[in-house]
Amino acid sequence: MRLIRGIHNIELANQEDEQGSVLTIGNFDGVHLGHQRVIKALVNKAQELNAVPVVMVFEPQPQELFTPESAPARLTRLRDKYTLLKKLGVKRLLCVTFNARFASLSAEAFVSDLLVAQLNINHLIIGDDFKFGKGRTGDFKMLCRAGEKFGFGVSDTASYKLENCRISSTAIRDALQRDALDEAQAMLGRPYSIIGRVFHGDKRGRTLGFPTANVHLKRRVSPVAGVYAVSVRIDGKVLAGVANIGSRPSVNGIRQQLEVHIFDFDQEIYGQSIEVVLMKSLRKEQRFSSLEQLKSQIEIDSKRARSFFETR
């Protein structure tokens, strides 16, 4: 799958083939089961029309630009979306830089200049509540009229949603905040996990007898926080461990990060990508008055995590 960063790079991608495109637009945060139904329809429609299945996302997400203080926590980073969408058969992921200039683009220009002229759109799959263009004047009805004018089809994502099942990124965030990991997994179609590269930390865990692999969350707000029993996927292996996700208040931490202690593991993995799968919530993050108290709690957390895996 090709990642196209910015609409200025669409022309370069189009030079390789002149097929039209079947497009869907959205945040696709989490790429949950509802999203997967839409992507399946996208891929099938593209095969029917001998076109390229394309997903358009925005970075930052619109709410992160307009109201950053109330923007929701992200379930997935762009890298994770890329991996998940590729597995579903998407051929191009168009990442549009969402800034004041793009936000000022009129609805008419969005259709004629971007969808028609640059993406050579054959069919669009979009939610009937989708709003776009300066002042959010563009909507589903306007797209249907434009489709008749420019010769592309338009269909509503509602026809692809799961029946009798309310699935949304918001509902998944709510489940994660309540540590209802099973609920989140049922909506995602997979366990919730965090993927990232291991970086050099302050080595504090090593001095406490619990060396950790540290991963930057690279998001403004994390949808989860606390201590968890986790499975760690690295180099094709699945290992057990215990992880803290948060700002580390006991050591005056500020930036949110993930620290995972992998049981019975002593390899150097700096710079490597790992996937940390949340299996069970153990407790919320809390501040301890001394490093001795923190060490004592980590020992308790580790025993509880080991016990969880032993009983599975």
Name the residue ranges covered by the structural domains of the chain.
Answer: 2-160, 193-310
Of the two residues 143 and 205, the one the predictor is more confident about is 143
Same topology for domains 2-160 and 193-310, yes or no? no
Confidence (pLDDT) at 250: 45
pLDDT at 246: 87
Share of the chain above pLDDT 70, in %: 89
Cα–Cα nearest to 154, from 130, 114, 133, 125: 125
Residue with the larger pLDDT of the pair 180 and 15: 180
Superfamily of structural domain 2-160: HUPs (3.40.50.620)
Give CB contacts under 8 A, 24+ apart, made by 196-205. Answer: 196/258, 196/273, 196/274, 197/271, 197/272, 197/273, 197/274, 198/269, 198/270, 198/271, 198/272, 198/273, 198/274, 199/270, 199/271, 200/270, 201/257, 201/259, 202/251, 204/251, 205/259, 205/261
Query: In this predicted structure, what is the pLDDT of residue 309?
Result: 96
Which positions ≥6 away from 110 have C-beta within 8 Å? 132, 133, 138
pLDDT for the residue 200 = 81
pTM above 0.75, yes or no: yes
Task: Name the residue with higher pLDDT: 38 or 255.
Answer: 38
Residue 63: is its pLDDT beyond 90? Answer: no
Question: Going by C-beta distance under 8 Å and a sequence separation of 6 or more, which residues neighbour residue 249?
Answer: 285, 286, 287
CATH code of the domain made up of 193-310: 2.40.30.30
pLDDT of 220 > 70? The answer is no
The bridge status of strand 226-234 relative to strand 153-156 is unpaired
Q: For residue 47, what pLDDT band results from cuts at 50, 70 and 90?
A: very high
Q: Averaged over 157-170, what is the pLDDT?
A: 75
Read off the pLDDT of residues 65-89 as tens digits, 9 standing for 90 and up: 788 888 889 999 898 999 999 999 9
More confident residue, 162 or 225: 225
Q: Classify residue 8 by its DSSP letter.
A: G
What pLDDT score was predicted for residue 251?
A: 46
Tens of pLDDT, residues 1-15: 999 998 888 875 565
Arithmetic mean of pLDDT over the chain? 88
